[in-house]
Chains A and B, each alone.
Chain A
Amino acid sequence: DAGITQSPRYKITETGRQVTLMCHQTWSHSYMFWYRQDLGHGLRLIYYSAAADITDKGEVPDGYVVSRSKTENFPLTLESATRSQTSVYFCASSAVMATDTQYFGPGTRLTVL
């Protein structure tokens, strides 16, 4: 049972480049989430999705784009990366409701130079 996986685990890019972070879950969970984790800020919600083709903004959505064409995948794209987007990104999923227990992936550490 693979659970929830993220790729790549580490990424270094340059300012202005487009970057896509991948998230895949094998549980057929309805909800999926993207968070960023920064020093002093804890986990901040970027975007979430209630089902395929349904997405909504979280606390810090600016500069990010998401899509969910399939239930199991929830990619996060930084259209034009900025240094302020250097962070650790976590994908999570929950079974039925957004407020069910969320299960997290291992994270992607992104550095924007």
Chain B
Amino acid sequence: GESVGLHLPTLSVQEGDNSIINCAYSNSASDYFIWYKQESGKGPQFIIDIRSNMDKRQGQRVTVLLNKTVKHLSLQIAATQPGDSAVYFCAESAVGNEKLTFGTGTRLTIIP
């Protein structure tokens, strides 16, 4: 599959460990945030989202944390598996903006 970003930040994690992927945003008006996963050769896939009236939201093996004070978003993946290897990126939108803004992504590599 094609590479989506040779200069992406990378994170290597041992299989079975927890992963934390971070995302910073700059717009204080941002009120909706989404994490996407993109495997090699595929389109981005929705993982989890959170609105600005929440600090934390949990899904299956994933948790998103939102810190509005420092404009920081994180994705935690519990007990990482080989299938978690992918590029992860956040997207955000603000009230009055008709578009999502995507980050450039972090490449997560799982070490067997």
Contacts and interface: CB of A to CB of B under 8 A. Distances in A.
Interface of A: 37, 39-43, 45, 48, 50, 56, 58, 88, 90, 92, 97-99, 101-107, 109
Given A42-B105, A43-B44, A104-B44, A99 B32 contact: yes
A99 B43 contact: no
A37 B4 contact: yes
**B contact residues, range:** 20 to 34
Contacts of B2: 88, 109
B2 to A, nearest CB: 6
B109 to A, nearest CB: 18
B42 interface: yes
A102 B2 CA distance: 22
Contacts of A90: 43-44
B63 interface: no
Contacts of A97: 98
A102 B100 contact: yes
A39 B104 contact: no
B34 A101 contact: yes
Given A39-B5, A39-B7, A101 B49 contact: yes
